Structure 1
């Protein structure tokens, strides 16, 4: 298994955790899902994130699904989310998944952090807890965590800790943050890989600002792969034309508390997972909402046919 680094690029899909209607993990769908992501061109996966319903898993379940996905992924890099309220839990899970062959771990800041000093101290403690040889992804997602990290504070953290090699950029609005970080690198600060989330709704702009790719769970990973490749080749108009075809569905899944239900429904409709079930608590799509998603998927296919 290759480790992530500051040079990592491409699309690391945030993977769902498939469940049976009973609430048990759907092991057969898990293997099928991993195959699907890589068949669609993903460069790596990120598991046990917010989309993966990690807080709903027990420690033993988290380890079990990690082992299964790592085995199925072969030599492809898999990042494991290890965010937790306490450092001890982060340290324990990190050691376990790295021993199994994970490519790195992702850590989001707890919502209790309020000042720049607290944020800087927190990541210093994380690095000390997990070992300085473990590659870390810093997840910057203030819409979910409530923690706002400035460009300057991120810069300080990156300068202090060489093993924080990647930023999962999910600030919104946050395009200026990408520009700030890349400008600082041009002045001599070390490079950090930047992969972007937020369902990919700003992906063309993020790539133009200097992002290295995407790290999100939109249920059409092939779109993110193609947009990134076209952007890297300078074919920006083609990238935007393709992106525009998917935008209505991406917009629909941005509804608060409903996004995961939409993604799992789409994955089930595409035959990737057997069930759209979430482990409780979780919001299900109403019959009317499901019909709306069906319409968006049908319209997407028509727009893609017109682009071919």
Structure 2
């Protein structure tokens, strides 16, 4: 079972896990275990599964449950695991969320449903969600309007923090979003608004600045989790220049991973190269690297790993 549920003080690096597939497109059970071991071996604080990177929308309900159960069993309580549970209907969402919690999840991640960008509608949805889930299921609110098409203001996030005790964490991915992050951080943990944990996504592209703005860590899927771990550790220790030096060493490949509509294939190719998964396949419709892409990526990997060796201490 999970070591603990996520809460308002949760911090560190919650790696967003890919979902590995075989060459025929089936969920790869052997690579799933290997990937969990890879992430844990690089010192992550927690894991998040069945998010956008995890291609959750391309899995059948049975596959999603099977994958969640296998990951949670493999982790075996060593770190908390958040399970993506966004769904069109609250009944299906509640059923899957309760299944995940019963299997040992530490909380669930939910994004707002597509629809008009009206703050009252977003508030109403999360009120219904929390009522449906019950008080014992911690919620990470995913704010990713570039994908969901639903922007959420800092004021609404703070209102939900006050009104819905289950919402204990924000996955911050709005872009540009640094001012918004600052507004949420300074507006929470006050006399009238509880503190909310803030972990940041977007591949980690702005991680040093987000940490300086008060973020508690990262929740993203960069294929070099050791970079995220070291940047967060160094920054929290007051070694801000060290954190930025490590980040800068990985920046070219991190940026390459963040290409819209293509980055998932890159990330899986890096994970395959590093021995974490056996196959880099994405489910159709999905991106695929060609021979020129592969050669370009291998050159970036080689240059990145050589640059990292030149850091004062290895990351």
Same fold (TM over 0.5): yes
After TM superposition, give the deviation of residue 253 of structure 1 in Å. 1.6
Please report the TM-score for the alignment, with normalisation by the length of structure 1. 0.98
Given the alignment, which residue of 262, 271, 275 partners 1:271? 275
Q: Corresponding residue for 2:197? A: 193
State how far apart, in whole Å, the 2-side matches of 1:161 and 1:4 are: 15
Say if 1:186 and 1:99 are closer, same or farther in 2 by CA, change over 3 A. Answer: closer
Mapping 1:125-140, distance limit 5 Å: 125-140=128-143
Q: Corresponding residue for 1:10? A: 12
Q: Deviations over 1:148-200 (max 9, x none)?
A: 10000111111101110000000001111121112112542210100000000
The answer to whether residue 103 in structure 2 is matched with residue 111 in structure 1 is no
1:168 aligned counterpart, secondary structure: strand
2:109 aligned counterpart, secondary structure: strand
How many corresponding residue pairs?
308
Structure 1 runs not aligned, ≥5 long: none
Structure 2 runs not aligned, ≥5 long: none
Q: Corresponding residue for 1:236? A: 240
Q: Corresponding residue for 1:204? A: 208
State how far apart, in whole Å, the 2-side matches of 1:301 and 1:133 are: 43
Task: Please report the RMSD computed on the Cα atoms of aligned residues, expressed in angstroms.
Answer: 0.9
Q: Corresponding residue for 1:221? A: 225
Please report the TM-score for the alignment, with normalisation by the length of structure 2. 0.96
State how far apart, in whole Å, the 1-side matches of 2:273 and 2:180 are: 36
Q: Corresponding residue for 1:285? A: 289
Given the alignment, which residue of 171, 177, 187 partners 1:184? 187
State how far apart, in whole Å, the 1-side matches of 2:195 and 2:139 are: 14
State how far apart, in whole Å, the 2-side matches of 1:102 and 1:265 are: 28
Runs of 4+ in 1 over 6 A off after TM superposition: none
State how far apart, in whole Å, the 2-side matches of 1:88 and 1:210 are: 35
